[in-house]
Amino acid sequence: MQIIDGKQIASEIKMEIAAKSAAIIDKGDRPPHLVAVLVGEDAASQTYVSSKERACKEVGFTSTIYRLEADIREEKLLEIIDFLNKDDEVDGFIVQLPLPEQINVQKVIRSINPSKDVDGFHPVSLGRTMLGEPTFLPATPYGIMQLLERSHIETSGKHCVVLGRSNIVGTPISVMLSRKAYPGNCTVTLCHTGTKNLKEIAKTADILIAAMGQPHFVTADMVKEGAVVIDVGIHRMEDNSEKGYHIIGDVKFDEVAPKCSFITPVPGGVGPMTIVSLLINTFKAYNGEIEK
Ligand code: GUN
């Protein structure tokens, strides 16, 4: 059994990005610039946005956080997005989710110029993802693809079972892994809350992607001997430690790991790769690789 060290792989990719960024700065050009829009005080969102800011610093990117009041009107947020769309010094930006109730999330996402949509959440970005056209791939699925690639895991002809059909993970990764490419060319089964015999189907997976958002859902009896298991879950469990919590995934790691050929831990698996994907996308945006 081999643990896929997402932290290590993320760190290698960050070094590669930092070298490219340094070369740009040496030439006298401005570095790539990522903006994060944070609405309200959601604790998890604040942590995520801070991590994104830190990652930008590590690779020499400029980053700016727009901190907006929780009661901001939708119209005002759309004005800010319009401003960011037009600002030539901003290569890409994200609007951190979730957003407060008064705001229509889909309307906000649709208002982002696809050439700056480094989260890859815009319908145009997702449509291009589905067609295999150049685009910003959504960060978490893109991170999973890079983990498979950098770990040299064979995917062609394999049966991949994805648990969870969210717009930001389950649905896009199922499309990405079914395309004729590497990683990809899998036969994909997408399981969700309406699936009958989910356990039996999971057990047929050569590659099992757990992204249903339920702590410790995947147990050893659901996993085939020799499977590759990718755990996308991130759940805070309160405890008596100094921090007051620890993080667990969608997979019961201790009992599942011994059966696997490869497995991602939580924390330190998919999580660090998500931010790296965002950095790669920001670099693509800086280079003008993705059209409007
Ligand atoms: N909330 C949780 N994950 C994400 C993400 O990847 N991007 C944004 N914008 N919000 C999130």
Distance 197 CA to ligand 1 centre (A): 31
What pLDDT is recorded for position 169?
A: 98
CA atoms within 13 A on the CB side of 51: 14
What pLDDT is recorded for position 107?
A: 98
pLDDT averaged over every residue in the chain: 97
Q: Measured from the CB, is residue 95 less than 6 Å from ligand 1?
A: yes
> Which residue's CA is minimally distant from atom 11 of ligand 1?
97
> Which residue's CA is minimally distant from atom 9 of ligand 1?
96
What pLDDT is recorded for position 75?
A: 98
Which atom of ligand 1 is the closest one to the Cα of 139? 6
What pLDDT is recorded for position 151?
A: 98
Same fold, 28-112 and 139-271: yes
Which atom of ligand 1 is the closest one to the Cα of 94? 9
* CA-to-CA separations, 87 to 23, 91, 110, 113, 135, in angstroms, rounded: 24, 8, 18, 11, 20
* CA-to-CA separations, 220 to 111, 225, 230, 254, in angstroms, rounded: 44, 9, 14, 9
Per-residue b or e along 132-161, where b marks 16 or more CB atoms closer than 10 Å to that residue's CB: eeebbbbbbbbbbbbbbebbebebeebbbb
Distance 222 CA to ligand 1 centre (A): 29
What pLDDT is recorded for position 211?
A: 98
What pLDDT is recorded for position 158?
A: 98
> Which residue's CA is minimally distant from atom 2 of ligand 1?
97
Q: Compute φ and ψ for 115, nearest 5 degrees.
A: -75, -10
Q: Which entry of 52, 116, 252, 284 is annotated as an active-site residue? A: 52
Q: How far apart are CA 203 and CA 171, in angstroms?
A: 20
Match domain 28-112 to its CATH number in 3.40.50.10540, 3.40.50.10860, 3.40.50.300, 3.30.365.10: 3.40.50.10860
Q: Is 96 a catalytic residue?
A: yes
SS3 string, 142-211, reads HHHHHHHHHCCCCCCCCEEEEECCCCCCHHHHHHHHHCCCCCCCCEEEEECCCCCCHHHHHCCCCEEEEC
Residue 22 makes CB contacts below 8 A (sequence gap 6+) with 60
Q: Give the global pTM.
A: 0.95
Q: Is 119 a catalytic residue?
A: yes
Please, are residues 65 and 55 in contact by the beta-carbon 8 Å criterion? no
What pLDDT is recorded for position 205?
A: 99
**CATH architecture observed for domain 139-271:** 3-Layer(aba) Sandwich (3.40)
Residue 223 makes CB contacts below 8 A (sequence gap 6+) with 202, 203, 205, 208, 229, 256, 259, 260
Q: Domain extents for the chain?
A: 28-112, 139-271
The segments of the chain whose pLDDT lies below 50 read: none
Q: Measured from the CB, is residue 119 less than 6 Å from ligand 1?
A: yes
